[in-house]
Amino acid sequence: MVRAVAPSLVAWPAQGRWVACAALAAAGLYQLTPLKTSCLRHCRSPVHFLLRAPAGPVGSLRAAAGHGLYCVGCCAGLMLALFALGVMSLVWMALVSLAILVEKTLPRGAQAAPVLAVALIALGIWVAASPGSVPGLTQPHSHPLMGMQR
């Protein structure tokens, strides 16, 4: 939508590094919020959804939807980081997947959130300072059919 209204705002050559930097910084800051902490706690221990869910298909669906919302809240910042780094970059997909795996499954995984916050903010600064040197960074190119120029 932003691209349709103001294409130059998000065009990589003009502002892309700053948009990516801001997205990575926001993702890093989100890692430190109480919302992230709460969602991660619920996502790591979904037993209460199973114990409190009413019997039957509707109860199961409600429990699954509730747990799913917590998982989306848990991973929202990391998904924003992936968007900023390039959703088609296998390198960053693997690293973000590893971060999610660590946070959700390791015994002390919740303690990784502040470390990831610092890493994301530092990565945002790196993208702003020298995007060409960031390994695996996918810099979007405009498609001729979209009416944008390279």
Q: What is the pLDDT of residues 116-136, one digit of tens each?
A: 999 999 999 999 888 888 887
Q: Where are the domains positioned within the chain?
A: 15-127
CA distance linking residue 144 with residue 117, whole number of Å: 37
Residues 6 or more apart whose CB falls under 8 angstroms from that of 42 comprise: 48, 67, 70, 74
Rounded to two decimals, what is the model's pTM?
0.75
- Report which DSSP code applies to 106: S
In the chain, pLDDT over 90 holds for what percent of residues? 38
The DSSP H or E segment spanning 50 is helix 47-52
| pLDDT average, residue stretch 100-113 | 90
Q: Structure tokens of 141?
A: 């190119």
More confident residue, 41 or 2: 41
The helix/strand/coil state of 108 is: coil
How confident is the prediction for the chain on average, in pLDDT? 82
